[in-house]
C-alpha cells in the first residue's frame, strides 16, 4: 500500500502472504480524511495517516508479475473507517476479461536489483519495466538490470538504429537473462544499423559488430530471433554465456560469432541460416563462428546451420578445443544471393585453420551430420592437431565427406557415403569401425531430411528421424 507523489513513494503498509495462481482475492482500500486502511480478504494489511490521501487517484499495479483485476468499485461513502475490517466478497466463478492498465500511470521507484524487467514495443523507457508499464528498448533494460535479474521481452519486432550493447556482467550465482516473454516471438531487426551491409572490402568497427554485441560475462540469451544485422550476435572477450533456442538468420555477416578471450560458453539448439556477407563476397558469413581467439569449455549442442554463404561452422584460428555435439550443417556455400565474384567456402564443419604455421587444436565433433554442402562435410582445414570425430555422418557433399589429411585425427564409427570427392581423405589420421574401414556398400533408410529440418521438438531439440541411418542397422554414423 503506497502513496505516490511524482517520483517519491511512501509505503503505508505491506504484507507477505502465500497466494495461488487462478485464485481470486478481494482487496479493499478505505480512506477517511488522512486515515488510510488496506485489507486483503478482510485481513488488515496496514493503516496509516498521511496528508497525501487528500488528493489524487486510486490505482492498481503489479510489479514483476502479472494479475487480473476485476469488479473494481470506487465509491465516496466517506465516514470513519470501521473498527472491524470488512469481509471479502465472493470471487467470480470464472475468469473475467482483463481490464487494460492505464496508459499513463505515474512513475514510481526504480525496479529492484534482482527483479524482472519487461520490454514491449508499446513501452516507454521512462517506465519502471513492469508488465503493466514496460520499457521500450532492450538497451534501457540492460542499463537497469543487475546480476540475477531477467529482461523479459514481449513479442514483436524491435528495430534499433544502433547495435544493442551487452557490456555489464552477471555472476556465476546470479547470471543475467535476456529472454522472450512466455515464448512470444521476439524479432530483433538490425536493418537500420550501420554496415547493413558495409561497402565491399570495408571493415566494420568492433563496437558496431552485431545487432546484439556481447562483451559481458554470465549472460543467458533465450528464445530470440536476430535478423538483418551487421553480424547477428557478435561476442568478444565474453565468458560463461548461454545462447539457447536462438534464431540468427539473414544477417550481413555470421549469424552467431564469438572471438577473443572467450570461454565457458554454451550454444544450445541454435538455428542459424541465410547469413551472407556482400562486404566480402561470401567469404566469411558462417552460421556459427568461434574463431580468432582462445578459451576452454566452449560447447555447441543441437545447432542447425544451413544455407549460409561461407561455412556452417568455422573455428578458424581459435586456439582452444571446442566440443560440437548433436548438430547438423547443410546447404552451405552456394551463392543464393547472386553476389559478384563469389568466394564462399561451403564446408559443413570447419575445424580450425589459420596462417602457416597453423595452430594445432584438438576439437571434438560427435553425433553430427553434414550434407549437401558445396565443399566438404567435415574438414580439419589444415589444423595439424589430434581432432576427434565420433559417430558423425557425411552425405552428398560437393567434395570430401571427411577431409582430415593434414591432422592426426582419430575417427570412430563415422559414416560417409555419396560424397562427390573421397568419403574419407585421411592422411596420417586413423580410426576404427568407420564405414570406410568396414567396407561394403552402404545404403540408407531415408534420404529425406524433412523431419530433422522441420519444426523442433517441444523441448527445443532436433526431432528424431531415420534420416541417413544405415539400412543394415549398423552402429555407424549419427543418430538424430
The predicted pLDDT at position 91 comes to 35
Q: How many residues in the chain? A: 480
pLDDT score for 105: 34
Summarize the confidence of residues 156-164 as an average pLDDT.
98
Q: What are the grid coordinates assigned to 396, written together?
A: 552428398
Range of lowest pLDDT (65-74, 96-105, 198-207): 96-105
Instruction: Please say if the pLDDT value at position 84 is more than 60.
Output: no
Cβ atoms within 10 Å of 73's Cβ, excluding its own? 6
pTM: 0.77
Neighbours of 155 (CB within 10 A): 14
Dihedral, 300, 306, 311, 317 alpha carbons, nearest 10: -20
Nine-digit cell string for 245: 533456442
Query: How much is the pLDDT for 473?
Result: 95
C-beta of residue 129 within 8 angstroms of C-beta of residue 135: yes
Catalytic entry in 165, 280, 291, 350: 350
Please name which of 298, 241, 250 lies closest in space to residue 271, comparing C-alpha atoms.
250
Instruction: Look at residue 99 in the predicted model and tell me its pLDDT.
Output: 31
**Is residue 5 very low, low, confident or very high in pLDDT (cuts 50, 70, 90)?**
low
Superfamily for domain range 116-453: Single-stranded right-handed beta-helix, Pectin lyase-like (2.160.20.10)
Place 472 in a pLDDT band, splitting at 50, 70 and 90: very high
Please give the distance of CA 157 from its chain centroid, rounded to a whole number.
15
pLDDT at residue 207, as a whole number: 94
Lowest mean pLDDT among 73-77, 264-268, 416-420: 73-77
Asked whether residue 270 carries a pLDDT value surpassing 60, the answer given is yes
Indicate if 350 belongs to the active site: yes
Give the model's confidence band at 6: pLDDT under 50 very low, under 70 low, under 90 confident, else very high: low
Q: Are 228 and 196 in contact (CB under 8 A)?
A: yes
Q: What is the pLDDT of residue 137?
A: 98
Which residue ranges make up each domain of the chain?
1-107, 116-453
Average pLDDT of the residues in 287-305: 98
Q: Are 210 and 204 in contact (CB under 8 A)?
A: no
Please give the grid coordinates belonging to residue 73.
Answer: 468499485
Unique residue bearing C-alpha cell 543467458: 220
CB 120 within 8 A of CB 154: yes
Q: Grid coordinates in use for 423?
A: 568419403
Q: What is the pLDDT of residues 91-102, one digit of tens each?
A: 333 333 333 333
User: What is the Cα–Cα distance from 3 to 268, expressed in whole angstroms?
Assistant: 46
Query: d(Cα 293, Cα 275) in Å, to the nearest integer?
Result: 22
Q: What is the pLDDT of residues 419-452, one digit of tens each?
A: 999 999 999 999 999 999 999 999 999 999 999 9
pLDDT at residue number 178: 98
Top-confidence residue, 89 or 198: 198
Cα–Cα separations (whole angstroms), residue 116 to 119, 146, 154, 168, 312: 10, 10, 12, 16, 35
At which residue does the C-alpha cell 556482467 appear?
169
Judged against a pLDDT cut of 70, whether residue 39 lies above it is answered with yes
Instruction: Tell me the pLDDT band of 63, cut-offs 50, 70 and 90.
Output: low
Least confident of 144-148, 232-236, 355-359, 460-464: 355-359
Instruction: Please compute the mean of the pLDDT values over residues 54-70 and round it to a whole number.
Output: 70
pLDDT on residue 112 = 36
What is the number of other CB atoms lying within 10 angstroms of the CB of residue 463? 15
Residue 192 has pLDDT above 70, yes or no: yes
Highest mean pLDDT among 35-39, 106-110, 229-233: 229-233
Name 307's Cβ contacts closer than 8 Å, sequence gap at least 6.
Answer: 273, 274, 331, 332, 334, 336
**Higher pLDDT pick, 184 / 14:** 184
Note if the bond before 432 is cis, omega within 30 degrees. Answer: no
Torsion angle of C-alpha atoms 178, 184, 190, 193, degrees rounded to 10: -70
Over residues 224-269, the pLDDT tens digits come to 999 999 999 999 999 999 999 999 999 999 999 999 999 999 999 9
Q: What percent of the chain has pLDDT over 70?
A: 88
Q: Mapped to the 3 state alphabet, what secondary structure does the chain carry?
A: CEEEECCEEEECCCCCCCCCCCCCCCEEEEEECCEEEEEECCEEEEEEECHHHHCCCCCCCCCCCCCCCCCCCCCCCCCCCCCCCCCCCCCCCCCCCCCCCCCCCCCCCCCCCCCEEEECCCCCCCCCCCCCCCECCHHHHHHHCCCCCEEEECCEEECCCCCEEECCCCCCCCCEEEEEHHHCCEEEECCCCCCCCCCCCCCCCHHHCCCEEECCCCEEEECEEEECCCCCEEEECCCCCEEECCEEECCCCCCEEEEEECCCCEEECCEEECCCCHHHCCCCCCCEEEEEEECCCEEEECCEEECCCCCCEECCCECCCEEEECCEEECCCCCCCCCCCCCCCCCCEECCCCCCCCCCCCCEEECCEEECCCCCCEECCCCCCCCEEECCEEECCCCCCEECCCCCCEEECCEEECCCCCCEECCCCEEECCHHHHCCCCCECECCCHHHHCCCCCCCCCCCCCECCECCCCCCCCCC
Amino acid at each position: 500500500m503506497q502513496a505516490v507523489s511524482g517520483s517519491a513513494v511512501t509505503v503505508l503498509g505491506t504484507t507477505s502472504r502465500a497466494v495461488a495462481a487462478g485464485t481470486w482475492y478481494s482487496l479493499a482500500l478505505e480512506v477517511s480524511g488522512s486515515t488510510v486502511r488496506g485489507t486483503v480478504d478482510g485481513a488488515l494489511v496496514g493503516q496509516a495517516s498521511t496528508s497525501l490521501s487528500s488528493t489524487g487517484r486510486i490505482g492498481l499495479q503489479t510489479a514483476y508479475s502479472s494479475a487480473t483485476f476485476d469488479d473494481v468499485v470506487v465509491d465516496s461513502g466517506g465516514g470513519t473507517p470501521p473498527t472491524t475490517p470488512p469481509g471479502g466478497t465472493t470471487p467470480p466463478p470464472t475468469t473475467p476479461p482483463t481490464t487494460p492498465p492505464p496508459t499513463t500511470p505515474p512513475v514510481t521507484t526504480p525496479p529492484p536489483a534482482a527483479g524482472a524487467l519487461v520490454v514491449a514495443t508499446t513501452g516507454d523507457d521512462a517506465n519502471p519495466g513492469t508488465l503493466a508499464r514496460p520499457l521500450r528498448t532492450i538497451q534501457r533494460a540492460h542499463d537497469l538490470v543487475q546480476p540475477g535479474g531477467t529482461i523479459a521481452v514481449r513479442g514483436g519486432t524491435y528495430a534499433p538504429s544502433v547495435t544493442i550493447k551487452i557490456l555489464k556482467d552477471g555472476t556465476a550465482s546470479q547470471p543475467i537473462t535476456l529472454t522472450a516473454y512466455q515464448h512470444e516471438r521476439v524479432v530483433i531487426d538490425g536493418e537500420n544499423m550501420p554496415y547493413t551491409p558495409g561497402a565491399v572490402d570495408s571493415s566494420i568497427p568492433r563496437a558496431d559488430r552485431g545487432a546484439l554485441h556481447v562483451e559481458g560475462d554470465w549472460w543467458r540469451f533465450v528464445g530470440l530471433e536476430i535478423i538483418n544485422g551487421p553480424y547477428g550476435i557478435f561476442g568478444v572477450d565474453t565468458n560463461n554465456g548461454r545462447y539457447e533456442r536462438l534464431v540468427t538468420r539473414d544477417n550481413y555477416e555470421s549469424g552467431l560469432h564469438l572471438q577473443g578471450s572467450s570461454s565457458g560458453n554454451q550454444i544450445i539448439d541454435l538455428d542459424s541460416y541465410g547469413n551472407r556477407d556482400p562486404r566480402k563476397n561470401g567469404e566469411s558469413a558462417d552460421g556459427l563462428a568461434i574463431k580468432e581467439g582462445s578459451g576452454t569449455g566452449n560447447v555447441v549442442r543441437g545447432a542447425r546451420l544451413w544455407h549460409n554463404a561461407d561455412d556452417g561452422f568455422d573455428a578458424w584460428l581459435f586456439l582452444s578445443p571446442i566440443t560440437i555435439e548433436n548438430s547438423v550443417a547443410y546447404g552451405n556455400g552456394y551463392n543464393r544471393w547472386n553476389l559478384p565474384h563469389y568466394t564462399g567456402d561451403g564446408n559443413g564443419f570447419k575445424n580450425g585453420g589459420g596462417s602457416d604455421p597453423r595452430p594445432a587444436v584438438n576439437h571434438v565433433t560427435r553425433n553430427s551430420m553434414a550434407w549437401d554442402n558445396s565443399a566438404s562435410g567435415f574438414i580439419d582445414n589444415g589444423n595439424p592437431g589430434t581432432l576427434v570425430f565420433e559417430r558423425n555422418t557425411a552425405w552428398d557433399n560437393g567434395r570430401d565427406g571427411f577431409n582430415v589429411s593434414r591432422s592426426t585425427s582419430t575417427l570412430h564409427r563415422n559414416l560417409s557415403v555419396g560424397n562427390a570427392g573421397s568419403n574419407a581423405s585421411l592422411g596420417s589420421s586413423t580410426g576404427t569401425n568407420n564405414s570406410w574401414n568396414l567396407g561394403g556398400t552402404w545404403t540408407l533408410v531415408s534420404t529425406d531430411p524433412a523431419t530433422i529440418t522441420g519444426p523442433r521438438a517441444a523441448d527445443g531439440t532436433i526431432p528424431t528421424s531415420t534420416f541417413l541411418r544405415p539400412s543394415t542397422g549398423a552402429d555407424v554414423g549419427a543418430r538424430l
